[in-house]
Amino acid sequence: MDSDSDSDGSHVSATPPRDSFPPSPPPLLQPPPKYVPPVSRKITSSSSRSKPKAPTQPPPNPSQEAPTSFSPPPPPPSPLFTDLPFRICESQPARFSSSISSFSRLRSRASFTPNEKLKSDGVDFVPEPPQPPNLITDTITSPPVKPMVFRSSGNGEGNFVKLNLNGKRGKKFPSKYKGVSKSRSNYAFRGKRYKKKEADGDGESLLEEESDLQKQVEEEANGFISSVEDAILAVKTEASDENLTKLLNLVYGYDSFRDGQLEAIKMILGGSSTMLVLPTGAGKSLCYQIPAMILPGITLVVSPLVSLMIDQLKHLPSIIKGGLLSSSQRPEETTETLRKLREGIIKVLFVSPERLLNVEFLSMFRMSLSVPLVVVDEAHCVSEWSHNFRPSYMRLKASMLFSELKAKCILAMTATATTMTLQAVMSALEIPSTNLIQKSQLRDNFELSVSLSGANRQLMKDLLILMESHPYKEIRSIIVYCKFQYETDMISKYLRDNNINAKGYHSGLPAKDRVRIQESFCSNKIRVVVATVAFGMGLDKGDVGAVIHFSVPGSMEEYVQEIGRAGRDGRLSYCHLFYDNDTYLKLRSLAHSDGVDEYAVGKFLTHVFSTETKQHEKICSLVIESASQKFDMKEEVMQTILTHLELGEVQYLRMLPQLNICCTLNFHKSSPNTLAARNTIVAAILKKSHVKQGLHVFDITAVASSICVATTDVLAEIQTLKMKGEVTYELKDPAFCYTILKSPREICSLSSHLTKWLTEIESCKVRKLDIMSSAAVAAISVSNTSELSSGAKQTLSLQSRIFDYFNGDEKCDTPSKTTQNCAFLRADIKVFLQSNRQAKFTPRAIARIMHGVGSPAFPNSVWSKTHFWGRYMSVEFRVIMDAAQTELFNFVDRNAALAT
Ligand SMILES: Nc1ncnc2c1ncn2[C@@H]1O[C@H](COP(=O)(O)OP(=O)(O)OP(=O)(O)O)[C@@H](O)[C@H]1O
């Protein structure tokens, strides 16, 4: 069952299109509605979203399609019954528009009309070419208060307008505006005149007119740019509220800063590292974009997902030049971005943490580039106590950022961090406690509700009833979140069958489909997206009016993030959660899928450090798939351990880039020996390879180590030979690569330390789910208890739980709903062992099977066939592990006795 769940948004690639037309000035007489106190849903909603208006959003720009890093998951591994502690013999049993102010979004939100609803299912998808990841946005919108256009022509230069942020005032403007004059609005206007003039046969005046138009655009652009430059200069001279607000107004069209923004910007301009905690959609991005315009050099933004980076790049105001570097880029894309960096074209660079720590990347910064500001976006990922810990974020230590990049200041941003997470982040990034800017975790424009529901079929009916009732039936854009990929298909089909325009979205869909679905949703061609967690990260569609949770989220953080996609235009929005106990238990079981045993960690460490101490410079590798099965550990768990070995108190090893290490080489022109005679790398390949059906098969790390070169040198050489027509080759077996710096004195104590740490992380996950679940249950039970309407009571109940959670100590005051003992458990384990004598189980492996959770060595595809699969989900995982341990010992003893 776990194979079908989406773990994160790492495969999200689509981003909402920027509006193609310059936004109109904010309607001063029409401020965004304030939060209506959650009285009755009926009253508040009817006033908030009833006037149907035609959508003002233009169709998406086909050139904006974002790339993705999606790659299909590997096929499920076959069971491997090796080297596990208990061996049992015998039979085998049978996945801007920041420039579009909230005001204009507000105007564009229209109520959903029945006619639109009937147009539902047939979304007409026009295939669009994908855009490579570092194609810096070609969607330049002009500043909102100046209705002129700064769009590039999609020539890959992206949203670069030659604003002199780096001190080279206005040198190349004219050439730039060639592209600008091709903006869509001007183009359309020009097109009309063309037709008329062509009919008149007046070619010359046509050309004159075009040149006049071009001049006008250039003059306006120059005027705007010099105003912005003046405003920047004023801020540089004095970072006063007045000067900053003027700059804000000029660039973004907003009249004032939102809560926390001004404070953060001033702190950064003053050179103080800052921890910024603002709710989703509160405008955190602006807090680094404005300093980036003022500070000299490059602002580096570290982001966990390529899709998020692409999205943020697209949302940069046109005057800030942006670029992106991620490990999923093609080499030529990287080269192009690096060139722009060196030439000072890029002002804000988005990078993945892996890229940031790449030796080449660091040396480039050390040598020639100044980085006054490093922004750590989604900074909670730094902490293992967050809901979304990323091992690669462990690398982001202040010491490294200050010493390697010579950064002057760090800005860490998040919307969802508990006190414990914040402490860990601020400690890693050396942000003083006085530099914390924290506003409420939750915007106040949500009406939150929960209801108890039955199993799937009933749940779908409940969903339909909800969606057909007030206020949901009047809401045009809705996201339904569910946990499993199959649910997205099942529910969206069910909704379509009931005349609701819905589409499913999950990370298993082809990248193109995901982009199209997101774009269709953003342009209101799709009303409802039924999605896993893979949808929504970075989604800034202002008029999402409701978020429905089909099942309980894994944590308060996840809940707050996901409901944060709603009401970003400031209007009241509705968030409903369907709670059912079975799903809660299922998710609780899944929370144990990353857990490890000391025994397995010890075996893993022994393998990692099996290299001779004398060979410390040797490049070692660990083929991910086979290691995962051998140690019964998920890839992410192995990566977490390896990263800890690199970045913990003692640096035991250095991680190298992941590679496909097994190479099969076919020589075509010269004989292998002739090539080897003049090429040391080929000579080493011949020594280290075995020949299989005329092809040379070798391990790239072994070849590189044998002649003391980098693996990249070996790869570069075989690539060169390929270009010359000498060879063809194939690479397989993705592997972790590393060199050992120091072997631990005692594997035992290291594995015990690591296991304790990983077990705490596992318990933390379970606790987070329990807290979310108890908040949902509390909201259900509170609905009949006072004079307030049910909606208002539930909102208040959930709001206060969320507040307590993010500001308290993360304790769960409600006992877990799992049971502590079960009469038949041990008897069942005994039967299970007897009927699966050939397998080598660990207590954890048995507990996972009893909870219906697959693992690399005991995959669902095989073990879900046993009737014990998932039978004990309601029993505490630890209780099953203890019972399994006892029964395994008994089993081994019995077998030993029988053998004698
Ligand atoms: N001072 C402001 N006045 C009006 N709108 C603003 C202001 N600052 C930012 N915004 C708008 O608010 C929206 C959300 O901003 P942004 O994407 O930076 O939010 P965020 O805090 O990063 O949200 P999330 O955590 O969900 O990604 C954007 O459309 C942005 O243009």
Q: Encode pLDDT of 759-816 as tens digits.
A: 988 988 899 999 999 999 989 888 765 555 667 888 999 999 998 888 876 665 665 6
pLDDT of the residue at 3:
37
What separation in Å is there between the alpha carbon of 140 and the centre of ligand 1?
18
Per-residue pLDDT of 410-466, as tens digits, reads 999 998 888 888 998 999 899 999 999 998 778 889 999 999 887 666 778 899 999
What separation in Å is there between the alpha carbon of 285 and the centre of ligand 1?
7
Higher-pLDDT residue of 220, 25: 220
Q: What is the dihedral of CA 787, 792, 794, 798, to 10 degrees?
A: -130
pLDDT of the residue at 142:
32
Rounded mean pLDDT of 845-872? 92
Rounded mean pLDDT of 15-28? 29
What separation in Å is there between the alpha carbon of 96 and the centre of ligand 1?
9
pLDDT of the residue at 202:
52
173-182, 289-298, 383-392 — which is least confidently predicted? Answer: 173-182
Token code pair at residue 72:
């299909």
Rounded mean pLDDT of 10-27? 28
pLDDT of the residue at 616:
54
Rounded mean pLDDT of 399-416? 86
pLDDT > 70 in the chain, percent: 71
Rounded mean pLDDT of 463-488? 93
- Which burial class, exposed, middle or buried, applies to 581 when counting CB atoms under 10 A from its CB (0-12, 13-18, 19+)? middle
Q: Given pLDDT bands bounded at 50, 70 and 90, which one contains residue 541? A: confident
Counting ligand 1 atoms within 8 A of each CB, the residue from 109, 286, 557, 573 with the most, and so the one to mutate, is 286
Is the pLDDT at 10 greater than 60? The verdict is no
**Run of H or E residues at 48:** helix 41-48
365-374, 384-393, 543-552 — which is least confidently predicted? Answer: 384-393
pLDDT of the residue at 521:
92
117-121, 294-298, 828-832 — which is least confidently predicted? Answer: 117-121
CB proximity list for 720: less than 8 A, separation 6 or greater: none
Rounded mean pLDDT of 583-602? 91
pLDDT of the residue at 632:
93
CATH number assigned to the domain covering 446-591: 3.40.50.300
Counting ligand 1 atoms within 8 A of each CB, the residue from 15, 18, 98, 558 with the most, and so the one to mutate, is 98
Counting ligand 1 atoms within 8 A of each CB, the residue from 12, 34, 258 with the most, and so the one to mutate, is 258
Higher-pLDDT residue of 165, 742: 742
pLDDT of the residue at 385:
73
Is the pLDDT at 214 greater than 60? The verdict is yes
Is the pLDDT at 274 greater than 70? The verdict is yes
> May I ask the CATH class of domain 257-438?
alpha beta
pLDDT of the residue at 251:
93
CA–CA distance, 779 with 108 (Å, rounded to integer): 33
Higher-pLDDT residue of 860, 360: 860
CA–CA distance, 704 with 757 (Å, rounded to integer): 34
Cut 0.95: pTM above it = no
CA–CA distance, 101 with 232 (Å, rounded to integer): 21
pLDDT of the residue at 333:
84
pLDDT of the residue at 201:
47
Whether 257-438 and 446-591 share one fold: the answer is yes
Q: Whose CA is nearest to atom 30 of ligand 1?
A: 98
What separation in Å is there between the alpha carbon of 334 and the centre of ligand 1?
29
Higher-pLDDT residue of 82, 505: 505
- For residue 252, the ligand 1 atom closest to its alpha carbon is 31
Counting ligand 1 atoms within 8 A of each CB, the residue from 100, 106, 145, 254 with the most, and so the one to mutate, is 254
Token code pair at residue 25:
């000035």
Structural domain boundaries of the chain? 257-438, 446-591, 615-742, 824-897
What separation in Å is there between the alpha carbon of 284 and the centre of ligand 1?
6
Among candidate residues 13, 303, 312, 305, the one with its CA nearest the CA of residue 137: 312
CA–CA distance, 68 with 329 (Å, rounded to integer): 10
Higher-pLDDT residue of 560, 33: 560
Give me the phi and psi of 389, to 5 degrees please.
-65, 135
Rounded mean pLDDT of 626-635? 92
Q: Is 253's C-beta closer than 6 angstroms to any atom of ligand 1?
A: no
Contact 871, 850 (CB under 8 A): yes
Is the pLDDT at 69 greater than 80? The verdict is no
Could you tell me if the ipTM is greater than 0.90?
yes
CA–CA distance, 95 with 318 (Å, rounded to integer): 40
What separation in Å is there between the alpha carbon of 287 and the centre of ligand 1?
10
Q: Is 421's C-beta closer than 6 angstroms to any atom of ligand 1?
A: no
pLDDT of the residue at 163:
39
- For residue 414, the ligand 1 atom closest to its alpha carbon is 25
Rounded mean pLDDT of 271-287? 92
pLDDT of the residue at 813:
61
Strands (E), 513-644: 528-531, 544-549, 573-579, 619-623
Rounded mean pLDDT of 99-108? 31
Q: Whose CA is nearest to atom 26 of ligand 1?
A: 280
CA–CA distance, 683 with 439 (Å, rounded to integer): 63
CA–CA distance, 599 with 842 (Å, rounded to integer): 9
What separation in Å is there between the alpha carbon of 735 and the centre of ligand 1?
40
What separation in Å is there between the alpha carbon of 279 and the centre of ligand 1?
10
Q: Whose CA is nearest to atom 29 of ligand 1?
A: 98
Is the pLDDT at 386 greater than 60? The verdict is yes
Higher-pLDDT residue of 73, 651: 651
Q: Whose CA is nearest to atom 28 of ligand 1?
A: 98
Beta-bridge partner residues of 690: 697
Counting ligand 1 atoms within 8 A of each CB, the residue from 251, 285, 312 with the most, and so the one to mutate, is 285
Distances (CA, A) of 690 to 671, 681, 685, 706: 16, 15, 9, 15
- For residue 564, the ligand 1 atom closest to its alpha carbon is 26
Is the pLDDT at 56 greater than 60? The verdict is no
Token code pair at residue 823:
């009469």
Q: Is 283's C-beta closer than 6 angstroms to any atom of ligand 1?
A: yes
pLDDT of the residue at 371:
87
pLDDT of the residue at 676:
92
Rounded mean pLDDT of 391-398? 78
Is the pLDDT at 138 greater than 70? The verdict is no
Q: Is 284's C-beta closer than 6 angstroms to any atom of ligand 1?
A: yes
Summary mean pLDDT of the chain = 74
Q: What is the dihedral of CA 174, 177, 178, 181, to 10 degrees?
A: -140
CB proximity list for 427: less than 8 A, separation 6 or greater: none
Q: What residue has token string 């409420």?
A: 440
Q: Whose CA is nearest to atom 3 of ligand 1?
A: 254
pLDDT of the residue at 524:
93
CA–CA distance, 282 with 437 (Å, rounded to integer): 13
Q: Is 285's C-beta closer than 6 angstroms to any atom of ligand 1?
A: yes
367-371, 448-452, 710-714 — which is least confidently predicted? Answer: 367-371
Per-residue pLDDT of 152-206, as tens digits, reads 323 322 232 233 344 333 333 233 333 333 332 322 223 333 333 444 445 556 6
- For residue 99, the ligand 1 atom closest to its alpha carbon is 31
